[in-house]
Amino acid sequence: MAAYRLMQAGARVLMIERGGWVERGPNAWRDDSSLAFTPSYARDIRYSVIADGRAVEDIGSYACVGGPSVFYGGTSFRYRVEDFIGDADVIAASGAAWPCRYPDMEPYYTEAEALLSIAGDDSCDPTAPPRSAPFPQSPAPLAPITKRIVAAAQALKLSPFSLPLAIHYGADAARAACVTCSTCDTYACAIEAKNDIATMMIRPLLARGLVLWTDTVAVRLEESGQRVRKLYVHRKDTGVMQSVEADLFVLAAGALGTPHLILSSKLQEHSPARDSVGRYLMRHNNAMVFGGFASKPNPERRFHKQIAIHDYYFGDRDARDVMGMRKLGGIQQVMPPSAHLVMTQLSWKQEMVVRSLVEHATGLLCIAEDQPQSENRVSVDWSSRDSYGLPRLVIHHRYSARDQQALTALVRRAKRVLRKAGAWVFYTHQVSTFSHAVGTVRAGVDPATSPLDEDCRFRGLHNLWITCGSALPLSAAVNPSLTIAANALRVSDRIVATMGKA
Ligand SMILES: Cc1cc2nc3c(=O)[nH]c(=O)nc-3n(C[C@H](O)[C@H](O)[C@H](O)COP(=O)(O)OP(=O)(O)OC[C@H]3O[C@@H](n4cnc5c(N)ncnc54)[C@H](O)[C@@H]3O)c2cc1C
Ligand code: SF4
């Protein structure tokens, strides 16, 4: 998004990307084309995760042109009006505060929805924020199992509505339209009907003069006189280390990659919020609840991640289990994983249960907003370096009691919907990935705890801007990518305003 806006303003842009292009075509439909089995889940830059105080595992990192959007589910929500104000219980002592409000972001949401051609209809969404333009596309017709979930939710007096999706349903005859296949979330689209960043933004920008270096790892930013002067990169094809000079640097390496680069370059030394760089990591508290049905709920194996339920987004008044909580989160449809994925991802005990459920199951994803806690953070371990010389990124994370309470409440309510739709047995899978990570180099008004100013410029360095999920001060309880995109457009307007002056 930043490259798009800066090129519109006449800038020459070089994009550095550590991964390569993702292969499309029929192979993308194979079970083993799910993200974790592909080169786009890079194992040459590994992160260590310490969850609940225990070293748990090493994880890979996302690396491809377009980033994880190529493999994402395409759910493209705007934050709610209240998400920009924040809930006092969620914020607690963190000092998290958005530097702007929903009306400031609205035009950028509209623009991001247009650029990504989002399909949706929020007329039944009880939490929908006001919009200045309709969705660019209407949603696809509902699959039979979706209609069943809708009927069940309505019988419980809930208000299911269409999930906003970055999927091409055929308004543009020059592209293949979605064929509602069963491999979408965690897979690249074989026919490029998913409106990911590689398809919708990077390819068209290349035709307009964007210079892209793929398979090139950004390793270090060099500062002098309160400006970043050089970026050192490692080109994987030649093995050569190279430096790049520029007037402006925009970091958009994701909520793990961006603080990794800042800490590896010791740029926090120049920040009045030096101790906050890497902190306040959020990732949502997500769980998928799968309901088992006596007969196969989706015998056509048709795409059915189509609706959401937001009746509990702002709590569940008078319900005893969440008394006093004014924010819980959202519930969305989710498809069961393929048997192949089940076999590789789970322990044998879980596998036995889930494998038998897969064909007889459909699910609901619960997304609870998580608290921005200072202890949830990334740091670097200089004693361990990867083959590019980057110190190892260490992720420390623990959910708070509030995070857990909100998720437990949502899971309970999701089960009620599935039960009403006919499910008689349940399996709940806690999501442990960092796919929704945000917040590690947050924007805010307080210079002491927010490394980025109101315009997402790095405090202490005049020409360094951050436009990825790192900048978000609160996670809200909707999928982050559209807000990241809209905020990047907002920030880019500020960058353009400084061009030639800085
Ligand atoms: C399987 C999956 C499903 C998802 N589904 C959804 C969804 O339905 N809706 C939604 O809103 N969100 C979804 N997400 C999350 C969404 O993809 C992310 O929130 C979003 O892509 C984050 O954007 P970003 O700009 O912060 O960074 P990213 O998209 O992570 O982009 C960072 C880029 O920087 C590159 N990079 C990082 N470090 C370096 C380096 N040192 N040198 C060079 N390049 C580097 C990476 O390769 C990547 O291309 C999903 C994520 C996953 C993994
Ligand atoms: S559901 Fe549609 S957009 Fe998603 S992978 Fe299949 S064809 Fe592509």
The residues that bridge with 241 in the sheet, in sequence order, are 234
pLDDT at 173: 78
Atom 4 in ligand 2: residue holding the nearest Cα: 184
- Number of separate helices (H) and strands (E) present in the chain: 11, 17
Whether this model's pTM surpasses 0.95: yes
Could you list the residue range(s) of the whole structural domain that residue 211 is in?
Answer: 2-498
98 CB near ligand 2 (under 6 Å): no
Which residue's CA is minimally distant from atom 27 of ligand 1?
254
Ligand 2 and 303: CB distance under 6 A = yes
Ligand 2 pocket: which of 24, 30, 179 to mutate (most atoms <8 Å of CB)? 179
- Amino acid 490: pLDDT: 98
Which ligand is located closest to the Cα atom of residue 193?
2
Q: How far is CA 276 from the centre of its chain?
A: 21
For the CA of 482, the closest atom of ligand 1 is: 11
How many domains is the chain partitioned into structurally? 1
Residue nearest to atom 14 of ligand 1 (CA): 72
pLDDT for position 95: 96
Q: How far is the CA of 23 from the centre of ligand 2 (A)?
A: 15
CB of 193 closer than 6 angstroms to any ligand 2 atom? yes
- For residue 486, give the ligand nearest its CA: 1
List the one residue out of 104, 128, 145, 139 whose CA is nearest residue 335.
145
Domain containing residue 273: CATH number: 3.50.50.60
Gap between the Cα atoms of 255 and 47, Å rounded? 13
Q: Which residues contact 445 (CB under 8 A, 6 or more apart)?
A: 97, 99, 454
* Backbone phi, psi, residue 465, to 5°: -125, 150
Residue segments in the chain with a per-residue pLDDT below the cut of 50 = none
Q: Identify whether the C-beta of residue 106 lies closer than 8 Å to the C-beta of residue 486.
A: no
Q: Residue 57: its pLDDT value, please?
A: 85
